[in-house]
Amino acid sequence: MGRGLIFGIVTYCILLIVACSTPPKPNWNGKNYLAHVQLDSSTLLITEVARNLEVPWDLVPGPDGWLYFTEQKGTINRVDITTGEIQNLATLDDIFYRKSSGLFSMALHPNFETDPLVYIHYTVAEKDSNFLDLISSKIVRFSLEGDSLVNPKVILKDIPGNTYHNGSRMLVFEDKLWIGTGDAGDTRTVQDIRTLNGKVLRLNLDGSIPEDNPYQNNPIWSTGHRNIQGITVGNGKLYASEHGPNNDDEVNLIQKGSNYGWPDIHGFIDLENEKAYSRDSVTQEPLMAWTPTIATAGLEYYNSNQISEWKNSLLLTTLKGRSFRVLSLNDQGDKINGEHLFFQKFLGRLRDVAVGKQGEIYLATSNMDWHQGHQPWLYDSLPKSNGDRIIKIQIADEGIQRQLTALEKPIELKEELTAISLSPEIYRSSTSNDDLDNGAKLYGTHCAACHAPNGKGNVGQIPPLVDSEWVSGNVARLIDVTLGGLNQPIQVNGVSYQGEMPAYKNLEDNEIRDILNYIRTEFGKTRGNIIAADIAHQRKGLE
């Protein structure tokens, strides 16, 4: 054997030993650490991808290494998930942006690499003869050329809109575009297939209507939704999350031609009036419902092996609940077997969730969009110094775990076993009795979130109950408003209020009696002498 061959073999072996002894390059650069989460067998790294954003509404991972996202104010962007570079792709110039209107959801064409098309849903407005805003929303398809979105094409328009309850989420599934809309404050039409509000819609990718939709020449797939905030596909099934009023936020399994009951059914069909309604109407119950409401938001199906504990689960973000929730599904995907809580109050309000192609998870915070005077007991500690952020959750491999052990001040989080309280403390100034005590509890659950624990409302947004003729005046009118809700402007103490008040006809007569007697006693300084028969009488008049 020649010296050259021997030297070559020895050199190869040395190089092989060096290569085998060199640890693999970690997939985390040690920057932007927020915390890590310890599950049963997995460790998760939590890092910050982007900051100083303003209400990022929808997150969509692209096949090109970018994470695409919208901001409610009207910007469409993407961020490089490795470098953190943000590119603005478009800024909408015809958007109507107020409160809960603006730019919402986004979807990418399923063959995005060859057909780089982006679908966007946002609100617009025209002035009527009285110079009032007539709000609607539309879906526009853009083409991505380089780093700009161009050639806008409207594929659906005239979706009823409002300054609140516009939805929305979109996704592409089975080469169809699915859109979840809100009721736009008009509860009379959400079960009417002649309108597009309060529905799940299904379109072909060019905007035409699929022939196999449940209603001929109609984009509607399902009806009876209040305000859809999340939509996802898993197990070949379509799921959606939905805001309730102050009770019964929902996660639903969406089925063709089904009616989900709003406004006649809230959550499960468990009250007598709901049971009576369901006997005459084919309605679907949710997979899960929450009271008090947690403000269910973005929804995503997780089936990656990366985080084995979360496989076959729905990932849910919440705004009011300020949490990330993992909802474990059964094998068929038609039942939620368990709920697991993470990040309560740690990241603040969470608007959306998305899953990347490697099984990593992205979250969008929504801390910059809430009026500080509204529900201050919920939002006294929002992390706002860095604006809204995009957060990444990834599995911590051995290399990352070694890096974590070297951190000076690690923050280890775990699953939380108890949900934080979302109801304010209600103070009683009047003489205690069982009915008024029950009314105080019910007021805390159903009313205080808007009208405040002290009944003073929120200036310019929610009318006060204190010293209001609406409370201390005509009892029949007060009962009618409580049962039927309001969707038109009213004057209270000389101030006009335009916001929606949901109907509470889903509550039992004795529950409404106790709430109204508490309100009249505490805030109206008058007698709380309403009886259950008064509620039943007014209820019949509204039927």
Closest by Cα among 354, 355, 328, 332 to 340: 328
- The Cα-based distances of 64 to 115, 354, 358 in angstroms read 13, 15, 13
What is the rounded distance in angstroms from the CA atom of residue 204 to the CA atom of residue 57? Answer: 24
**Structural tokens at position 91:** 């800024």
What is the rounded distance in angstroms from the CA atom of residue 306 to the CA atom of residue 111? Answer: 25
Given the residues 165, 225, 243, 266, select the one marked as catalytic: 165
- Helix and strand numbers (H, E) in the chain are 9, 28
CA angle, 401 then 392 then 386, to 5°: 115
Task: Compute φ and ψ for 94, nearest 5 degrees.
Answer: -115, 20
Q: At what angle do helices 509-522 and 475-484 cross, to 10 degrees?
A: 130
Contact yes or no for 307/362 (Cβ under 8 A):
no
Amino acid at 493: N
Strand order across the beta sheet in which 66-71 lies: 56-61, 66-71, 75-80, 86-91
Contact yes or no for 159/196 (Cβ under 8 A):
yes
Contact yes or no for 332/235 (Cβ under 8 A):
yes
What is the rounded distance in angstroms from the CA atom of residue 97 to the CA atom of residue 423? Answer: 30
Known catalytic residue at 371: no
**Structural tokens at position 504:** 């509470």
Task: Compute φ and ψ for 241, nearest 5 degrees.
Answer: -105, 150
Task: Compute φ and ψ for 458, nearest 5 degrees.
Answer: -140, 115
Closest by Cα among 356, 438, 271, 261 to 60: 356
Task: Report the SS3 class of residue 6.
Answer: helix
- Tracing tokens 């959801």 back to the chain, one arrives at 105
**Residue 513's Cα: distance from chain center in Å?**
32
Neighbours of 378 (CB within 10 A): 22
Q: Could you list the active site residues?
A: 165
